[in-house]
Amino acid sequence: MKDNNTENSGTQQPGKKTYPKRQKKTITLNLSASVIDYFKDMAGTSGIPYQTLINMYLEDCVINNKMIDVSWR
């Protein structure tokens, strides 16, 4: 059976770097304007795209097993 994994298929262009396939999924997410503004402001000062910053923050929550307070205030 043919392997559909094209990551190591030998079709790399000369001089082009190869990176391990990132295991990311495209989703639609509704965020408040204040959250988006916060990360866009941070992106402006850090030079890192705001979507990457959001992903980095969420990955940090997963790695450190951070729990959020879901009680109503």
Chain length of the chain:
73
pLDDT at residue 18, rounded to an integer: 65
What's the pLDDT tens digit per position in 12-70?
Answer: 567 666 666 668 899 999 999 999 999 999 999 999 999 999 999 999 999 999 998 88
**C-alpha span between 42 and 48 (Å, rounded):** 8
pTM of whole model > 0.75? Answer: no
**C-alpha span between 65 and 53 (Å, rounded):** 18
Mean per-residue pLDDT, 9-14: 59
**C-alpha span between 5 and 7 (Å, rounded):** 6
Q: Residues 6 or more apart from 52 whose CB is under 8 A from it?
A: 43
* DSSP string for residues in 44-73: HHH-S-HHHHHHHHHHHHHHTT-----S--
pLDDT at residue 12, rounded to an integer: 59
